[in-house]
């Protein structure tokens, strides 16, 4: 399931190589870029698509992105709560991402148990995408090692 999610998340022509899976988080290699990725927890609320969180590890840069369960409102404020830390994300359409605080977001993910994204969708409804972070630190480290 994680491999299928990653395949839809990237535009690369080659199929990503699975490196390892850790408690719902997977590490993958796609050429010189590696990823730690997880799908959101199941939700009883309607979704337009399967959401996932992605930490891209490329030589010289780590980047945090998310595909959202619903399309964002044009003026949506997107917040990410990681444990007791709150981050404001940039976003548009079906995606959200860290701007200048990628390192802080990833450090928080490594040290907390859960994270939740909250925003308003294009219909004005509030929605949340929730994630368990068990396995995230190991998946991130596996992705880093795979791209060395």
Check: CB of residue 14 under 8 Å from CB of residue 20.
Answer: no
CATH value at residue 124: 2.60.40.1880
What range defines the domain where residue 25 resides? 2-146
Output phi, psi for 42, to 5 deg: -60, 150
pTM: 0.87
Q: What is the per-residue pLDDT for 13?
A: 52
Q: Provide the domain count of the chain.
A: 1
pLDDT average per 10 residues of sequence, the chain (148 residues): 48 76 95 94 95 89 95 97 96 95 96 98 97 97 92
Strand partners for 132: 114
């Amino acid at each position: 399931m994680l491999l299928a999610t990653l395949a839809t998340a990237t535009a690369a022509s080659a199929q990503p190589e699975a490196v390892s899976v850790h408690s719902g988080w997977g590490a993958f290699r796609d050429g010189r870029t590696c990823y730690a990725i997880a799908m959101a927890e199941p939700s009883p609320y309607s979704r337009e698509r399967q959401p996932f969180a992605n930490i891209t590890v490329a030589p010289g840069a780590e980047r945090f992105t998310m595909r959202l369960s619903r399309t964002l409102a044009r003026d949506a404020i997107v917040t990410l709560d990681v444990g007791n830390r709150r981050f404001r994300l940039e976003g548009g359409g079906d995606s959200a991402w860290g701007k200048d605080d990628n390192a802080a977001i990833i450090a928080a993910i490594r040290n907390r148990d859960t994270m939740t994204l909250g925003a308003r969708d294009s219909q004005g409804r509030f929605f949340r995408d929730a994630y368990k972070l068990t396995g995230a630190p190991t998946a991130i480290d596996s992705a880093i090692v795979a791209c060395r």
